[in-house]
């Protein structure tokens, strides 16, 4: 393959809080990406089974609310458990078509009791094997009502052709030290996943590319009122104000984009449509831009500043038999 790598971003909406239906849609877009000769396809943050948008619209901070408890329980039911094989179908497609995936998930973590949720970015390689599960280090603002804080176990990079790929969830991309960790691990293709807002990707994608002298793929989702299944608990309460406040019914508008290692657009932010975005990247451009700046290489001063990363998976128990 040399220096060339064809990649895709699947900017799609979930069948909101419906794991199986969303998974089927992701499989379809993975097959489309493989048909377009992509060796990597990325999906938005928490796409499987969906972003917890109800918190913004239902007085989500009300303590001990029966409404919040019921919606949260449904969210837990629809979250993924890797140990239960919920990603096995995507893994099989990845292996069959020899395509790698970055998948934004809501993970019901068995190693943390099985009932707490984590915003987890999962990397599945071209053999269909899960190589990393990065649990979001710090959920943002209202997300803390439903997601738990993660750890450093998933701060890893992976070789893919001439490239070294890594990824972060949403506002983690604003955190200098996690970015620095991935730079130090050789990253030159960064996957920034978002729930779907162009105001985020337009502001950060080009800067991240310029700072890292890397390609940056901003993978976002969409969400429309019509993507919410009728059997969603308390759907009438969740959507009551949406119908009057959102003229177009659009909750998340996408904004997926790709920037080159000089910080210039390869694909400007795409909004309002479900679409497979495809581009071919050239690693030679990374090497050219690193000539005058390399954050972890010749422009680093590890004798002055150095980063420590703890990649142990957090646990509340150590068992000695």
CA dihedral 44, 124, 179, 140 (to 10 degrees): 40
Q: How far is CA 228 from CA 51, 295, 320, in A?
A: 11, 43, 46
| Candidate list 38, 119, 170, 252, residue with the active-site label | 170
Q: Is 45 annotated as catalytic?
A: yes
Q: How far is CA 59 from CA 53, 67, 72, 142, 286, in A?
A: 11, 10, 13, 11, 46
Q: Is 136 annotated as catalytic?
A: yes
Q: For residue 192, give the nearest of 203, 184, 111 by alpha carbon.
A: 203
Phi, psi of 150 (to 5 degrees): -90, -155
Q: Is 170 annotated as catalytic?
A: yes
| Candidate list 25, 38, 45, 172, residue with the active-site label | 45
| Candidate list 25, 38, 107, 136, residue with the active-site label | 136
Residues marked active site are found at 45, 136, 170
């Amino acid at each position: 393959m040399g220096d060339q790598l064809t990649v895709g971003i699947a900017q799609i909406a979930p069948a909101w809080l419906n794991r199986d239906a969303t998974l089927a849609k992701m499989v379809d877009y993975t097959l489309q990406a493989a048909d377009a000769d992509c060796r990597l396809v990325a999906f938005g943050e928490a796409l499987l089974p969906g972003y917890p948008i109800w918190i913004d619209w239902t007085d989500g901070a009300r303590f001990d609310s029966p409404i919040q408890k019921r919606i949260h329980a449904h969210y837990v039911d629809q979250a993924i458990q890797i140990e239960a094989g919920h990603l096995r179908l995507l893994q099989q497609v990845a292996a069959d078509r020899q395509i790698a995936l970055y998948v934004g998930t809501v993970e019901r973590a068995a190693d943390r009791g099985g009932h707490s949720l984590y915003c987890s970015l999962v990397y599945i390689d071209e053999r269909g094997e899960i190589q990393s599960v990065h649990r979001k280090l710090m959920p943002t603002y209202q997300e803390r009502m439903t997601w738990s804080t993660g750890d450093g176990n998933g701060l890893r990079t992976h070789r893919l052709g001439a490239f070294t790929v890594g990824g972060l969830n949403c506002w983690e991309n604003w955190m200098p030290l996690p970015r620095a960790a991935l730079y130090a691990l050789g990253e030159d293709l960064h996957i920034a996943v978002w729930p779907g807002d162009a105001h985020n990707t337009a502001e950060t994608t080009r800067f991240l590319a310029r700072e890292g002298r890397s390609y940056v793929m901003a993978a976002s989702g969409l969400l429309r009122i019509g993507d919410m299944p009728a059997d969603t608990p308390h759907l009438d309460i969740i959507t009551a104000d949406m119908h009057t406040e959102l003229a177009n019914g659009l909750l998340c508008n996408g904004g997926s984009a790709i920037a080159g290692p000089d910080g210039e657009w390869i694909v400007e932010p795409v909004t309002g449509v479900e679409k497979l975005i495809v581009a071919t990247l050239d690693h030679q451009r990374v090497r050219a831009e690193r000539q005058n700046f390399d954050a972890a290489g010749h422009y680093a001063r590890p004798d002055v500043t150095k980063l420590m990363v703890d990649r142990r998976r957090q646990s509340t128990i150590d068992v000695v038999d």
